[in-house]
Amino acid sequence: MNGIIYVLTNDAMPGYVKVGKTSSSLEQRIAELSRSTSIPLPFTCFYACIVKDMDFVEKQIHKGFSGIRINPRREFFITEADRIVDILKLVEIENITPKKDLIEEKEDEQALNQVRAEIREKFNFNMVHIPVGSELIFSRDETKKATVLDNRHINFNNETTSLSTSAQKILGYDYGVQGTAYWTYDGETLDERRKRMESEE
């Protein structure tokens, strides 16, 4: 049965990815998950697509990533979301990732924007030992490259910009994204690099 496989992230749970399925509305499913008062922030749809057999695809993804699944009764994995997306692209019929945040409450939107701004402020290239002049590659399209200009800015398409602004523009989303989840250096996303280096300290 055709259906939707979704990959959700939550800025309150960095490093965790939720992978699930729905045969109805993606918007409705995300709203249901985000309404819970047990989570501080709403979920963000990192990727969603229609597949031919959603039950089979979800089962295979859960099985393939079982080693990094936190709880067998819950659909959360410790991984970078793009790792899941790479698999989904092999079987998707259509990419239906929303171009804007699916948030019902204004308070949720304000809280999410505030946290995103704080995350953007925290990251800098020095903390992950990436020197000025280094080349970055966009994970979803390796033909798109950028050059590190200083501790916080990059040159993309001959413009001085940020990781998040450039990623949002490339993806065509109406909402802000975490650029460190999309830009890569030396084979790993900037998020992966930061987590690895922090764990090695």
- The encoded tokens of residue 181 equal 């989840």
Do 175 and 168 contact (CB within 8 A), yes or no? Answer: yes
32 in a structural domain: yes
The helix-helix angle for 163-171 and 106-122 (nearest 10°) equals 130
**Are 41 and 79 within one domain?**
yes
**Are 67 and 7 within one domain?**
yes
Residue-range definition of the domain harbouring residue 185: 123-200
Q: Does residue 156 have a pLDDT over 80?
A: yes
How many domains are contained in the chain? Answer: 2
Do 83 and 61 contact (CB within 8 A), yes or no? Answer: no
**Are 92 and 168 within one domain?**
no
Q: What is the average pLDDT value for the chain, to the nearest integer?
A: 89
**Are 138 and 83 within one domain?**
no
81 in a structural domain: yes
**Are 129 and 195 within one domain?**
yes
- The encoded tokens of residue 157 equal 């398409």
112 in a structural domain: no
174 in a structural domain: yes
Burial tier of 157 (Cβ tally within 10 Å: 0-12, 13-18, 19+):
exposed
116 in a structural domain: no
- Count CB-CB contacts under 10 A for residue 83: 16
Q: What is the pLDDT of residues 57-115, one digit of tens each?
A: 999 999 999 888 888 888 999 888 888 999 999 999 999 998 887 777 788 788 887 87
Q: Which amino acid is at 145?
A: K
